[in-house]
Amino acid sequence: MSSERPLPETITGEGVHVELTHAHLDVTSVMNTVKSPKAGAIVLFAGTTRDNFGGKPVKELQYSSYAPRALKTLFSIADATKSKHGLTAITMVHRLGVVPIGEESILIAVSSPHRQAAFRAGEEALEECKAKVEVWKLEEFGGEEGGVWRANRDGAAGIPGPVEKTVSGVWTNQD
Report whether 59 belongs to an annotated binding site. no
Q: Which domains does the chain possess?
A: 9-151 (3.90.1170.40)
107 is in an annotated binding site: no
CA 150 – CA 163 distance, rounded (Å): 11
Q: How far is CA 91 from the centre of its chain?
A: 11
4 annotated to bind ligand: no
**CB atoms inside a 10 Å sphere around CB 109:** 26
Q: What angle do CA 47, 52, 54 make, to 5 degrees?
A: 110
For 94-157, the DSSP string reads EE-EEEETTSEEEEEEEEESSHHHHHHHHHHHHHHHHHHS-EEEEEEESTTS-EEEEESSTT--
Instruction: Name beta bridge partners: 10.
Output: 19
Is 127 marked within a binding site?
A: no
35 annotated as ligand-binding: no
pLDDT by residue (tens digit) across 38-80? 999 999 999 999 999 888 899 999 999 999 999 999 999 999 9
φ, ψ of residue 97 to 5 degrees: the values are 85, -160
Strand partners, 98: 62
Spell out the per-residue pLDDT of the chain, length 175, in tens: 444 445 679 999 999 999 999 999 999 999 999 999 999 999 999 999 999 988 889 999 999 999 999 999 999 999 999 999 999 999 999 999 999 999 999 999 999 999 999 999 999 999 999 999 999 999 888 776 778 887 765 555 555 554 444 333 333 333 3
pTM: 0.83
Residue 139 labeled ligand binder: yes
